[in-house]
Structure formats: structure tokens, C-alpha cells
Amino acid sequence: MDKFKEIIKSAGFQGEMDDAPSTIETYSHDASLFEVKPELVVFPKDAKDIEILVKVVSDNKEHMPNLSLTARSAGTDMAGGAINDSIIVDFRKHLNEIELITRTSGQAQPGVLYRDFEPRTLKHGALMPSYPASRDLASVGGMVANNSGGEKSLEYGKVKDFINELRVVFADGVERTVKAIHKDELDQKMGQDDFEGEVYRKIYQLCEDNYEKIKQAKPIVSKNSMGYTLWEVWDRETGIFDLTKLIVGSEGTLGMVTDVNFRLVPARPHSGLLVLFLRDIDDLGELIPAILAHHPATFESFDDQTLWLSIRFMPSFLKLLGWKRFINLLVSLIPDGVQLLRGIPKLILMVEFNGQTEAEVRAKIKALHSDLKTKRARYEINGFEEDATEGKSEKFWVMRRQSFSLLRSKVKEKHTAPFIDDLIVKPEYLVEFLPKLRAIIQKYHLFATIAGHMGDGNFHIIPLMKLEDKKERDTLLPAMKEVNDLVLKYKGSLSGEHNDGLVRGPWLEDQFGKEVVDLFRQVKHIMDPKNIFNPHKKADATWEFSYTHIRDHF
């Protein structure tokens, strides 16, 4: 790579480049179970540096066919989307500016961490609500690449629903603005005699020629991160063409996002949490529609394994919370500890309401509480707090949000193996679906935590495995196939939030069928004709490549 580094430098690249063994090792992992060693890591200073990288790679691709660029910010991706075998482009070091915040919009570069972005928006009484559970770790760029969602997606939707515009470096090495446009503007774009015009012409024609097939391919669940979101690009009825819907969730396979302008919503100052302990799940079929009828802002859940994990590693929360909040957490656990002596619940359900006043929130909680009493369901209700970030209710959010971090950092004899971690089915199927899912987990002797977004039917299942052991590694494929078949039997999606990456990309045809995946491949070729952006992902993924890159040491 020394010669190629000289080529990059001579082209005017201003950032840093690093191929030291320690750097290569660090960037060969994200939060997934995969390891792919890059040849070089680059740290661009600005969008101009990104343009230079794309042009240099494109110009040299013919005689260096393995050249590619994979964008990376926080490196928290659980599917292997942020690792690859050529050049990793780190956005976190320099492209990390929060540029402009108003009450209705927020503009930031991809390397900005969401935990830094949100306090700035809250100063304006505003919020970008589609943040993931890893809100303390995730970057803006990763959220866009994965079309993230989270605990508020039940009410608000996903990242794709909050994009005003993007700045994107296309495959010809030119940065452009991408946003929703009307048909007359689309006609102007298609009339351009350049690469951008070609992209708009071909993507429009693909959408128009296959309009019904594309619309029918949309999964019937409330959120999906599988494939490319072609069904939301062109709408004949409104005459709106929105290329951001294709780029968001594309895992950096269609271009490199250099700037994001989010639509923000008003932040509601008060919130309240109602917690239900379920000794069994027979009542889910009755409880879920009853709860959803009250239109909660959030409807989350976690299982008994997550609960035990949190209790086992309670001292770890000291570092996370600090002494004052940690003491409050311990004190608040005492009454629930007494309640837990009656029997460990299989599921804990968390139903949150937001409002402009404490009285408004309390009224919503009481209405749901009263309604549930008439259902004769076998559950127990814990108390409610006006502020879901303090006092009693904080323990539930800590357990829900921090379970994956605890698994990764504290369980030393086995390792997190997120390979069935993001499935989603319609909530009405859960009473049948969850026991069958648990049966598969038990069949393969997997210790796994189950947490998720009950209101969407979206679950994160994190098995703990010793992947160095061939016997355990060999269970990955059959277990994954059984879970996939179960999800698709219930007309679900294999990914609600975490995207395809190396773990789910190979199963796109199972999800969509060959004809639709062929359309995805056409999209990739139109926007990235030389395959320079994040190969081995989306419609370019194969299980052979993925399996040979599963980590064998931790």
C-alpha cells in the first residue's frame, strides 16, 4: 500500500493515513462477530478529501481490482457493515462538526456522536427521535447508514423519515446535495449530461418500469432495514422522487455521505412509565392491542435473562451512572426485589407516555392502568414515575439499553454473537411466534438475552457463544436458517434496524425473492458501477465470504 498512499497524497489528500498493525487490528472489528482486516485506514479532513479518495480509487480500480472504500464512524455496527478488506475511511476523527441547530432542523457531519448531538437540539426544545438503543455510542453517520430506529420508532418512525437533505459524494468523485424533489425538478436532473443525470434517469426508469413489483416488495412490518428501500423512492401519486430514501440504510454501498440535515420534532418535557411483569406470555395476544390502542410513545420489553444479567453485574452500573444515580438505582430496586421473590417474570414490558405537562402524562398512564384491569390478564403493575430518566423507572431503561454492553464486556468465557439479533414480525403474531423462537434457541443450547420493541414486534436476540469452538460455530448456520424461516413464515423482516451487513446480506433472496434482489443489484451498478463502495454487503453479500470471516479469537 505504500505506493498507493503516495498516489493518494499526490492527488492532494490532506488527511492522515495509517497501516500500522495495531491500527489494522482495531479497524478489523466492529460490534459484530466478524473480523475483516483492511489494508489501510484513512482519516479525511473534509468532503474534498472524500472526493479525492473516490476519484483515486475509481481511477486505479482497473489494475487494482480489490480496491474499495468502506465508511466508518463509531464502529458500533452489529452486522459487520463497518469493516472490509481494502480501505477504511474514518469519519469520526475530523468530520465531526455540529453545524447548525434550529427548532426544526439539525445539521451535522457523519462523525458526530448522537450523545453530543441531542443536548444541542434539546437546548432548542427539539429532538431527532429515531436514535438507536446504543444512543451513547452511535454516530450520526452510522444512524443514516443503517436507517436506525429505536424505542421511539413506534411513534415517530426511522431515520429515513427525518432527513431533509444529505450531502453525498457519488461514484464519480463529486459531492452533491440529495433531497426529495418534484417531477419537474426530476426532469431537470434527468436532462443533465453528467453522472448525476445518469443516476437519476436510470433509477427513475428502474422504479417506473417495475413500479408494482417494487411496491409489493415492501415488507408488511412497521420497519425494515433489509435491502434497498426502493419502494419509497418514486411515488406516482405525489410526483415526488426521493433519492435519500435509497441512500439512507444503504450501508455506504451507494456513495459516501458527508453531511446530514435532520428534521427535528418538539421535545416533550414530561414522560411517565408503566411497567408490567409477565409470568407467562399467554396474555400477549390480549395485552398488546390493548396497550397500542392507547398510543404510547414507547412500548419496550426485555426478558428474564436480561434481568438476571443486570442483577449479576449491578456494580458495573457504578461507572456508568456515577455514585448518586447508582445509589438511587440500588434503593429503587428494593421494592421490586421483593416483588421478584414471587417469581421471575418471563417478560418485563415498559410502556411510556410523553406529554407537555405532568398532569397530561399521569392521565394517560391512569387511563391505560384502568383499561388493563378489565382485561383479567395475569400481570402485575409496578409504579409510575413522571420522569423516566430518574428514580424508580431508571433501572428499567438501564437494563434495557445496557444489556448488550454488559454481555460484551463482562461475560468472559463466551462472547456476543449477534446473528439473529434484529428480527421483526407484526405484534399480533407474537403470542405464537415467541414460544417457537424460544424453542429454536433452546434446541441449539444457546444462552441468549431477548430485548426489543414490543410495540413494533422487533426483537434483539444476543446469544453468548464460544466461537473458537468449531462445534459451537457450526450451529450458526442451521440456527440462523431456522430463525429466518420462522420470521418469514410470519411475513416478517430479518432486520428491523441493524441492517444486512455480513450477517443478513446473504439471505436477501430469502426475504425478497430473486427478481427484487436483481433490482437491488441494478441499483448498486447504477450508482456504483465499479463496485468501490463497501463491497460484500447488500446484494453483493455471500455466506461464503461472511462465514470465512467469523472471528476465531476475542
Question: What pLDDT score does 312 carry?
Answer: 65
Question: What pLDDT score does 303 carry?
Answer: 81
Amino acid in the structure at residue 76: T
- Beta strands 126-127; 105-108: pairing state: unpaired
The 8-class DSSP code of residue 139 comes to B
Question: What pLDDT score does 283 carry?
Answer: 76
Q: Confidence band (pLDDT; 50, 70, 90) for 409?
A: low
Residue 378, pLDDT > 50, answer no
In a domain, 484, yes or no: no
Spatial contact of 254 and 528, defined as CB atoms under 8 Å apart: yes
Which residue from 493, 473, 474, 469 is spatially nearest to 483, judged by alpha carbons? Answer: 493
Amino acid in the structure at residue 228: Y
**Each residue of 419-458: b (16+ CB within 10 Å) or e?**
bbbbbbbbbebbbebbeebbebbeebebebbbbbbbbbbb
Residue 60, pLDDT > 70, answer yes
Residue 527, pLDDT > 70, answer yes
Domain boundary among the residues 356, 389, 410 is at 410
**Mean pLDDT value across residues 96-124:** 97
**Mean pLDDT value across residues 169-190:** 98
Q: Confidence band (pLDDT; 50, 70, 90) for 1?
A: confident
In a domain, 498, yes or no: no
Question: What pLDDT score does 105 carry?
Answer: 98
Spatial contact of 228 and 249, defined as CB atoms under 8 Å apart: yes
In a domain, 360, yes or no: yes
In a domain, 477, yes or no: no
Q: Worst-scoring range by mean pLDDT, 29-43, 240-254, 295-309, 475-489? A: 295-309
SS3 of the chain: helix, strand, coil, percent, to 5: 45, 20, 40
| 234, HSE (Cβ side, Cα atoms, 13 Å) | 19
Residue 387, pLDDT > 90, answer no
Domain boundary among the residues 395, 410, 425 is at 410
Residue 213: CATH number of its domain: 3.30.465.10
Q: Which residues contact 510 (CB under 8 A, 6 or more apart)?
A: 484, 488, 494
Domain boundary among the residues 340, 375, 410 is at 410
**Mean pLDDT value across residues 57-84:** 96
Percent of the chain having pLDDT more than 90? 68
- Beta strands 298-303; 347-355: pairing state: antiparallel
The C-alpha cell of 527 is what?
A: 450508482
Listing DSSP states for 422-440 in one string gives -EE--GGGHHHHHHHHHHH
The C-alpha cell of 348 is what?
A: 418485563
Do 232 and 342 lie in one domain? The reply is no
Do 237 and 338 lie in one domain? The reply is no
In a domain, 312, yes or no: yes
Highest mean pLDDT among 253-257, 413-417, 444-448: 253-257
Provide the terminal-to-terminal Cα distance of the chain, rounded to the nearest Å: 27
Report the number of distinct structural domains present in the chain.
Answer: 2
Question: What pLDDT score does 145 carry?
Answer: 97
Question: How far is residue 379's CA from residue 300's CA, in Å, rounded to a whole number?
Answer: 16
| Chain segment 228-249, per-residue pLDDT in tens | 999 999 999 999 999 999 999 9
Do 277 and 370 lie in one domain? The reply is yes
Q: Confidence band (pLDDT; 50, 70, 90) for 386?
A: very low
Question: What pLDDT score does 276 carry?
Answer: 83
Report pTM.
0.90
Do 161 and 249 lie in one domain? The reply is yes
Residue 386: CATH number of its domain: 3.30.70.2190
**Could you identify the residue written with the cell 490532506?**
14
Do 116 and 257 lie in one domain? The reply is yes
Domain range for 331: 268-410
Cα three-residue angle 540-546-548, rounded to 5 degrees = 135
**Mean pLDDT value across residues 41-46:** 98
Do 123 and 252 lie in one domain? The reply is yes
Do 284 and 246 lie in one domain? The reply is no
Do 365 and 261 lie in one domain? The reply is no
In a domain, 206, yes or no: yes
- Beta strands 87-90; 40-43: pairing state: parallel
In a domain, 420, yes or no: no
Over the chain, what is the mean pLDDT?
88
Beta bridge pairs of residue 113: 139
Distance of CA 242 to the CA centre of its chain: 21
In a domain, 383, yes or no: yes
Nearest 10 degrees: CA dihedral of 307, 308, 313, 316?
Answer: 0
**Could you identify the residue written with the cell 411510556?**
352
SS3 assignment, position 480: helix
| 194, HSE (Cβ side, Cα atoms, 13 Å) | 10
Q: Worst-scoring range by mean pLDDT, 149-163, 448-462, 518-532? A: 448-462
Spatial contact of 228 and 538, defined as CB atoms under 8 Å apart: yes
Nearest 10 degrees: CA dihedral of 262, 263, 268, 272?
Answer: -60
Residue 335, pLDDT > 50, answer no
Dihedral sign, Cα of residue 213, residue 219, residue 225, residue 229: positive
